[in-house]
Every structure is written in C-alpha cells, then in structure tokens.
Structure 1
C-alpha cells in the first residue's frame, strides 16, 4: 500500500477511523480530497464510496529487467511465461492471471497498448492473485518476443490450425506461450516471432476455447 485517499466529506464512522488507524500503523500516507478530487483519482465516482488506495505491485517489472536478471542468474532453470496479444476483456485478463499464479507460471508479458489494463475489474477477476504474480510490461509485443528469442527462449503461439499439440512441448528450454485476441487470435506481427504454433486437441467439432481456459490448461499441464 502506497497512499490512502479519503474524501473530506466522509462521515466519521468506525470504518473510516479503522482505515486511518491501519494506514498509520503501516506508515501509509493519508491524503484528504474534496469529492471531485477523489473521483479524479478513483476514476469511479459511483462506487468508490469516498475511498481510494494506491497499490504498488511487488512483482511488477519490465521484460528488459527480467532478461537482465536471468542473465545474472547462474542457477537458472528454464522459465515459462504467458504473453498476451490483444486480450481486451478485463474479465479474461483477471482469470488468466489467476490461472497463471495458481499453476506456477513464472510471469505474464502484458503490453502497454492493445490489451486490457490493470484496473479494479481485473483485480476482482483475479481474486487478488494479481499481487502474487510477476507482471512484465513491454511497449511492443512483437519486438519484445524477438528479444526473448535472441536470449534463447522458444516462442509458441496458440492456434487451432497448428500441427504440434500442447502435450508435445517439453520444458527443456525457456518457453513463452502467446495467447491471442479473443476473436482474431494471434496477430500477424506476433506470429512471425513464434518458433512454432501449438493447438489443443478438441472433440465434437469445437473450434476454440475461451482464452482464459486455454491459459489454465497451459499453466497446469505439468501437474495433472
């Protein structure tokens, strides 16, 4: 917790007093605003109830920082990451984070543009697992995947038309699994950075799965 924002118009009840006491106990700065000022911070005046909190994600980093850290790690074992290409639904993003965290994925590559961004809906859908998951930000996913390939990673895009199946992928080298847009799939620019494409075998003429379900299958494939 970084900073607690309170509306000066809040009624001085036990709940507000408890929030202030907890903030002071944890040495979190408290700032008071008029109602309009708080709404600018929360960006959700209908539901903020006069309270907003700045949160610093402990595992929030960049792809560049992750690669530098890996270069200096002599005891490194092959990592597995999810890369999100055009995932625009906040609910899906939150559920992907939840599955990746529960399944032990080493991190999620989230571009600054073209994907849903971290907001209250994503936090809620992740059931708080966002704060336990390594989020790696980048500007352009295609270029970033190129850098990971130079560093020795294998980049695998998910496609229903692929010949290779998910079960055939081993964990011998660092691997990035690319999840594409809910409708269009993996973009052309990102596909060009993939070493190979993978599919999940399906029955009864089902063409595709929800992207969050796909993320769960990838995340737990070693544990089932």
Structure 2
C-alpha cells in the first residue's frame, strides 16, 4: 500500500461518489469491485476489518493509499468514516448485448483484453481503440487491472468515449461472438501469416493476451486465425499495447481503403 501525503490526496469532485465505513467498503468490494477506483485508509491501521479491506483490495488489484483522519473526513464529508473511504469510478460499463444492438460500424470491431495486468497498457489500448473507432473494449470481470485513475490517465480521455464491457467468461463470450458471425484473431510471434494478410474488413474480435502469460489455451482454440507482426530488429516481440495498436491501425487502413 502506498503512502499518500496529505497534499496529494484529491478532494472528491461533486460528481464523484464516495463510500465510507468498514462494513460498507467490504460489501462494495464483494459486490461491485469494478466500481472502485481507489481506497484511502487511515495511518497505522490495526482494526481487523481495515486489514481485511487492504488484503482484499490487493487481491483485486485496487490501489490503496494512507491518509490522515482529517483528510478522510474531507473526502467522506463526515468524521464518522471509520478510517476508510472508497472513491468510485465514473465509468459506465456496457453489456455485450447493448454493444451488439447498437454497433458503431457496419462491420463491428471489438477488442478483448484477457487479463492485462498493467493499467498503462489497458489505458493505451483503450486510447487506440477509440482512435480507430472500434465498437467496444471487452474486459474479463475479476481478471487483470481494474479501471483506475491510472487507466483514465493513460487513455488520455478516450475512456469517456469508448464503450467498455465486463464479461464473466472470455471463452463463452468468444463462442457467442463467433455464432454472431465474428472472426476471432490474435497475435503470436510464431504464427505463419502476417497481420496484414488477415481480412480486417469483416466483423472482427481482436484478442490480446496478458503480459507474460499470453493467450489461454481455451482462448487460442477459439481463434479463427493467429497472426504475427513482422520484426526486423533484434527484439522478439512488442509490448502488448503497441502490438494492439499495430493491428488496430491495420484494421482501420483496410476499412478506409
């Protein structure tokens, strides 16, 4: 848990929602963890429920910061905050049905993030997806980095315009999308075909695997094609957000062409 100085803690904007109190924050983490942007707790935490909040937040990869009681009182609007406040994200999550019912393109383009851990990568991919007018970015509930202040910043404002979905299962989601006529494509440096050989003009799902571990085996089975990005230098692979950008811009090039 990072130490947050008194001056660095932002007072919540009027439109921001704050949940305070030990039981209320625990319930929030159990029921809607994706809605939590950051948690602030008092210094020198010894209460068992506050320790439970810290452990749960770490498991869910929700950032935490320490704050003095007077700052928690300012954030919560009351001194009866029990030493903990949770700031809620302003992101509205869409269902997959909502996205499919109102596509942005005549030939929809979706991006699936399979458990990316780095919020900078998540934000960068959302930024690129918005730049190429993709229909939505799909994230797996409970897997990878949550939508946080870091994701907001890395997206450079794109998060306010891009539809983001949360789904329970990547496998079931890909099965559904294939039934709806989508082609599923992913990248692997050992693939036979280049990413430019793929027909990006048809309804497409681009799946980006997690940093390090890559695609899951069941996800790979559901890909209609695995492509590679040609590399001429000494490095063997690209950062996942860069790789997503290369492929998404190839999709836009083909579609505009």
TM-score tier by shorter-chain length is: 0.7 to 0.9
Instruction: Determine if the alignment matches structure 1 residue 65 to structure 2 residue 98.
Output: yes
The secondary structure found in structure 2 opposite 1:83 is strand
> Is 2:187–2:226's contact at 8 Å kept on the other side of the alignment?
yes
> Is 2:117–2:144's contact at 8 Å kept on the other side of the alignment?
yes
Distance 1:127 1:37, change over 3 A: farther
TM-superposed CA distance for 1:184, in Å, is 1.9
Distance in 2 separating the partners of 1:30 and 1:200: 43
Distance 1:169 1:47, change over 3 A: farther
The secondary structure found in structure 1 opposite 2:40 is coil
* Alignment match, 2:143: 114
Distance 1:169 1:96, change over 3 A: same
TM-score in terms of structure 1 length: 0.74
* Alignment match, 1:218: 247
TM-score in terms of structure 2 length: 0.65
Structure 2: state its 5+ residue gaps: 1-5, 27-35, 42-64, 76-85
The secondary structure found in structure 1 opposite 2:107 is coil
* Alignment match, 1:44: 40
Structure 1: state its 5+ residue gaps: 1-9
* Alignment match, 2:62: none
TM-superposed CA distance for 1:217, in Å, is 1.2
Q: Structure 2 residue aligned with 1:206, among 222, 225, 235?
A: 235
The secondary structure found in structure 2 opposite 1:220 is helix
TM-superposed CA distance for 1:169, in Å, is 2.0
Alignment coverage as a number of residue pairs: 197
Q: Structure 2 residue aligned with 1:138, among 153, 156, 167?
A: 167
Instruction: Determine if the alignment matches structure 1 residue 158 to structure 2 residue 187.
Output: yes
Q: Structure 2 residue aligned with 1:103, among 132, 136, 149?
A: 132
The CA deviation string for residues 63-83 of structure 1, in whole angstroms up to 9 with x for no partner, is 23323x15xx7x961111111
> Is 1:103–1:216's contact at 8 Å kept on the other side of the alignment?
no
> Is 2:18–2:87's contact at 8 Å kept on the other side of the alignment?
no
The secondary structure found in structure 2 opposite 1:130 is helix
The secondary structure found in structure 1 opposite 2:124 is helix
* Alignment match, 1:6: none
Cα root mean square deviation, aligned: 3.3
* Alignment match, 1:3: none
* Alignment match, 1:5: none
